[in-house]
Amino acid sequence: MPKTVKTEDNASQVVATKPAKKTPTSSNSVATKKIATSTKTAKATLLAKPSQKVSSVSEKSISSDNISVKNKTVVKKTIKNSFSSFHAVGKRKACVARVWLSIADQKGSGVITINGRNFVDFFGPRSVYSKKLEIPFATSLLNISDFNLSISTNGGGMTGCIDAISLGLSRALILFDAKLSMDLKHAGLLTRDSRVVESKKYGLRKARKREQYSKR
């Protein structure tokens, strides 16, 4: 607004002055602060939303993984129960025999395989080995043709292999029926034969054989 200035002649002169700048009031400053804080919070929420989505997705993926792992364990258990095979290990001399015993689909249709070969192809036509294999079944009053035998041997000769198979088979029959343990134990089929070839001695021809002594 123009100001009036009084002089000595009591004459009023009109002086044009520039309008003074309006200083922001307290209400305006509060409003601007509120707007600034609201924009900051909006930015923070926009930045926070993607991280929340990622965390939720990761939680879902973890839960789905747990479910899949549980399903896998259940499937493995059902497979073991369906095959109903009994595994045991027998040893004799340098031979290690692993025996898998399972019930045949039909009575009298049992199959015996040793290292992927038939029993007769592996041991030959000699009846000594077949009789040794039938001893555990005969003592437990079972028929060998009612079971499937899958055997894998490593090391040793024929006698070592058949004795290791007999021990592993006796242990597998106990897993099949625990009541057979007493009969097999009394027959001596559960004891591991610890006899091994004695090692050669230094200065001798064999383990105990010496050089021929000549008096003169």
Q: List, for residues 102-122, the tens digit of each pLDDT value.
A: 999 888 889 999 999 999 999
Strand-pairing partners, residue 101, are: 86, 149
- pLDDT tens column, 69-102: 445 544 443 333 334 799 999 999 999 999 999 9
User: Which has the higher per-residue pLDDT, 170 or 7?
Assistant: 170
Residues 180-209: b if buried by 16+ CB within 10 A, e if exposed: beeebeeeebbeeeeeeeeeeeeeeeeeee
In this predicted structure, the answer to whether residue 157 has a pLDDT above a threshold of 80 is yes
pLDDT, position 36 = 58
pTM over 0.75: no
Residues above pLDDT 90, as percent of the chain? 56
pLDDT, position 123 = 93
Provide the pLDDT confidence category of residue 37 given band limits of 50, 70 and 90: low
**3 state SS for 51-112:** HHHHHHHHHHHHHHHHHHHHHHHHHHHHHHHHHCCEEEEEEECCEEEEEEEEECCCCCCCCE
Amino acid identity at 177: D
Provide the pLDDT confidence category of residue 61 given band limits of 50, 70 and 90: very low
